[in-house]
Amino acid sequence: MADIRLENISKRFNNDIALNDVNIEVKDKEFFIIFGPAGAGKTTLLNVIAGIHMPNHGAVYLQDQYINHVEPEDRNIAMVFEDYALYPHLSVFDNIASPLRSPRYKKPEPEIKKEVERVAEILNIEWLLERSPDQLSNGQRQRVGLGRALVREPNVYLMDEPITHLDAKLRHQMRAELKEMQKSLDTTTIYVTHDYLEALSLGDRIAVINEGQIMQVGTPEEVYFFPENEFVAGSFGEPEINIFEGDIMTSEQVDFSPFFGQSAFGFLPKEKQQVLGNKGLQTIRIGLRPKDIHFQFEPVNSKEYIKGKVFSFEPLGAKAVLTVEINGKYIRITMKYNEDISINQDVYIKIDLNTAIYFDELGNNLLSQFSAKRRGMAWQN
Amino acid sequence: MKRNKIIEFFKDLALFLYALFALFPLVWLVIISFKHDRDMFTTTFIFNPTLENYKIIFSDGSFIGYFIDNLIVSSGAIALSVIVGVPAAYALARFNFKGRETIAFTFLSFRFAPEIFVVLPIFLIYQQIGLYDTYFGLIWVFQVLSLPLMIWILRGYFEDISVEMEHAARMDGYTWWQVFLKMIMPLIKPGLVASALLSLIFVWNNFTFSLLLAGQDVMTTTVAMVGYLSSDTVHYGQMAAAVLISALPIIILALAIQKHLVRGLSMGAVKG
């Protein structure tokens, strides 16, 4: 039951910048995801909130109270660690009971027993309570780590990739359970992950972080459909979004010829023409999700279609990923499974700008509110 | 199958022969400690056992004094090493500061110099500052033997404990000191016991420092043993009895915590 606010947080380790001017506001009872690639600073950010690392610059607020100097044990924050961080000399029961036995959050022993058993049942590890951590599999250890956090009633749960080490089936199941659990616990949760599916399915809001900087904060819909920049667009979705570069010829026509090495044109939808026209750009970068690319194998006589060759074809059950090579560029397309596809076969693709995301040369989304706002601020300066 | 049995037999035989070889000095020591001086060179295994040697040792009470001196000096040195060595090892394992490896190596290098090589300057310094022939003087110099061992063994143990585990304990509501005592100490215990015992053996058996930096007010058993070499004769029987008694605490300790000793020196704390 708490909201958290980070203001201008920067953190350096020697000369490496781990976090660079991070501003985040996590609302009360929110399931907040911190998403980013390895080494982006996700765990450091979590450690700053936990009080394990002191930021070099900036302020951490918990329920509007400045807590930079509050020790981790006094913040009443529970954390699940990526590498479990179990106590190897204690049994599973004692591991889970440890926060309830600590001087800070002490509870009577019968109550501890009840609580530990309740949590163990939720996590399906009640038959492991007598074991020691080195007799557990990684998935079981991760659940013990979760259990140690769940026995408490903290202000905030911090979870650092809590289900990455589980096998696929269990991960899926735990994902659903975590969402359910968070609803019933009704407690603010900050969850770190590098798995975009976890981020999209669990989060109320997602903060995308890269190289210590926040790229975008938004709901799953916002980050998926309205990414602020190419990095965010590329992070969500598998296979990755395709990016094409083209020159704006007229208010409606975009010329992709230099990019594809052959005559290729796209047509801007009416409602976008004016907005983009006002920006006075010469080149534009187009993001198209693999499922949004039109393609066909029969030759067509249209200047919208671009000829390429099948580079690879990966069947994934009912779905398949088709990679098309044009002028040394690889374009990824998702399609229904089709067994008649052979390598190096001709294929014709069409750039349909109706479903596209538009980026400027620096990779920032031209139509997003965020960049519009920032542009406005820059203009005011 | 039969081949295996033969190999097993030879293995056992080899072990038996080695045990005989290793234990013989001890057995011989026990035997001569029960002999009269006159039987010393005339008999080997068959003689009239006597407690005479032990009676002589304990009759004037001075041997007990040497024994206690040795006990004070050794346990003092180990206690000081634990108090200094545990935090030092923790710092060397956990904190990344300038010159960390240099400091760690400096500790280790204390053990490189032969004792006889450093004892003269120490002797002169001790004479000047009044530490010569005092308990504290010996305790202090025995640090040189026990501290490096302690630091290097414990450093490995601390490095094996994940930092995240400490953080987890902090989040669970323990202060740093409680984390250290409740979570970290149990994990380094095997290493602590093993290194303390091993240094105790080194310190207990030390002769050079005890001989040259003390000898009147403070005298350890190793030095006292020399007293049985008089100018005209050597009292082998009394010497053997004295050696046996002064070796006894170490033998008992080593046997009692043999398991910890092997495990503690050969294994890290947290595996898997």
DSSP per-residue codes, B91-129 = HHHH---TTHHHHHHHHHHTTTS-HHHHHHHHHHHHHHH
Q: B271 or B14: whose pLDDT is higher?
A: B14
Nearest CB to A73 within list B164, B173, B269:
B173
Q: How confident is the model at residue B113 (pLDDT cuts 50, 70, 90)?
A: confident
A361 token code pair: 């040369």
pLDDT of A379 above 50: no
pLDDT digits (tens, 9 = 90+) for A129-170: 999 999 998 888 988 999 999 999 999 999 999 888 888 888
Residue position matching structure tokens 């013989």: B24
Q: How far is B195 from chain A (nearest CA, A)?
A: 20
- Residue B269 has a pLDDT of 42
Q: How far is B77 from chain A (nearest CA, A)?
A: 29
Q: How confident is the model at residue B218 (pLDDT cuts 50, 70, 90)?
A: confident
Measuring CA to CA, which residue among A190, A83, A158, A6 is closest to residue B171?
A: A158
Rounded distance between C-alpha atoms, residue B272 and residue B261, angstroms: 22
Nearest CB to A87 within list B170, B173, B183:
B183
Alpha helices in A215-256 (DSSP H): 220-225, 230-235
- Flag if A73 and B171 touch (Cβ within 8 Å): yes
How many residue pairs bridge chain A and chain B with CB atoms within 8 Å of each other? 69
Q: Is there a domain that residue B33 lies in?
A: no
Q: How far is B175 from chain A (nearest CA, A)?
A: 6
- Residue A175 has a pLDDT of 86
Q: How confident is the model at residue A268 (pLDDT cuts 50, 70, 90)?
A: confident
Choose the weakest-confidence range: A254-258, A289-293, A368-372. Answer: A368-372
- Residue A373 has a pLDDT of 46
CB contact at 8 A, A97 and B182: no
Residue position matching structure tokens 């992950």: A193
Left (φ > 0), alpha (ψ -120 to 50) or beta: where does B67 sit?
alpha
> Closest chain B residue to A160 measured between Cα atoms?
B164
Q: How far is B97 from chain A (nearest CA, A)?
A: 11
Taking all residues of chain B, what is their mean pLDDT, rounded to a whole number?
87
- Residue A56 has a pLDDT of 93
Q: How far is B171 from chain A (nearest CA, A)?
A: 5
Question: B70: exposed, middle or buried (C-beta count within 10 Å: 0-12, 13-18, 19+)?
Answer: buried
- Residue B267 has a pLDDT of 58
- Flag if A102 and B170 touch (Cβ within 8 Å): no
C-beta contacts of A193-196 below 8 A and 24+ residues apart: A193/A33, A193/A34, A193/A35, A193/A161, A193/A164, A194/A35, A194/A36, A194/A37, A194/A38, A194/A42, A194/A161, A194/A164, A195/A164, A196/A35, A196/A235, A196/A236, A196/A237, A196/A238
pLDDT of A376 above 50: no
Q: How many domains does chain B have?
A: 1
Rounded distance between C-alpha atoms, residue B200 and residue B208, angstroms: 16
Nearest CB to B171 within list A50, A82, A86:
A50
> Closest chain B residue to A149 measured between Cα atoms?
B172
Rounded distance between C-alpha atoms, residue A371 and residue A229, angstroms: 9
Residue position matching structure tokens 């009239």: B48
- Residue A370 has a pLDDT of 47
Q: How do strand A294-296 and strand A305-316 relate by DSSP bridges?
A: unpaired
Q: Is there a domain that residue B29 lies in?
A: no
Q: Is there a domain that residue B43 lies in?
A: no
pLDDT of A374 above 50: no
Q: How far is B178 from chain A (nearest CA, A)?
A: 9
> Closest chain A residue to B167 measured between Cα atoms?
A52
Architecture of domain A236-380: Beta Barrel (2.40)
Q: How confident is the model at residue A276 (pLDDT cuts 50, 70, 90)?
A: confident
- Count CB neighbours of B208 within 10 A: 16
Residue B150 sits in a domain whose CATH number is 1.10.3720.10
pLDDT digits (tens, 9 = 90+) for A76-132: 999 999 888 999 999 999 999 999 999 988 999 999 999 999 999 988 899 999 999
Among A14, A47, A52, which would you mutate to test the B interface (most chain B Cβ atoms within 10 Å of its Cβ)? A52
- Flag if A73 and B172 touch (Cβ within 8 Å): yes
Alpha helices in B161-184 (DSSP H): 163-171, 176-179
pLDDT digits (tens, 9 = 90+) for A286-326: 999 999 898 888 888 777 788 899 999 998 888 899 999 99
Q: What is the domain range of residue B213?
A: 59-266
DSSP 8-state code for residue A1: -
pLDDT of A234 above 70: yes
Written out in words, the top-level CATH class of the domain with range A4-234 is alpha beta
pLDDT of B81 above 50: yes
Q: How far is A164 from chain B (nearest CA, A)?
A: 17
Q: How confident is the model at residue B272 (pLDDT cuts 50, 70, 90)?
A: very low
Nearest CB to B186 within list A86, A89, A134:
A89
- Flag if B171 and A77 touch (Cβ within 8 Å): yes
- Residue B1 has a pLDDT of 61
Q: B227 or B189: whose pLDDT is higher?
A: B189
Which of chain B's residues have a Cβ under 8 Å away from the Cβ of A141? none
Measuring CA to CA, which residue among B9, B27, B7 is closest to residue B19?
A: B27
Give ranges for CATH 2.40.50.140 in chain A: 236-380
- Flag if B175 and A81 touch (Cβ within 8 Å): no
- Residue A159 has a pLDDT of 93
Chain A interface with B: residues with Cβ < 8 Å: 47, 50-52, 71-73, 77-79, 81-89, 98-99, 102-105, 134, 145, 148
- Flag if A71 and B175 touch (Cβ within 8 Å): yes
Choose the weakest-confidence range: A52-61, B59-68, B142-151. Answer: B59-68
- Residue B78 has a pLDDT of 94
Give ranges for CATH 3.40.50.300 in chain A: 4-234
- Residue B10 has a pLDDT of 94
- Residue A262 has a pLDDT of 85
pLDDT of B271 above 70: no
pLDDT of B50 above 60: yes
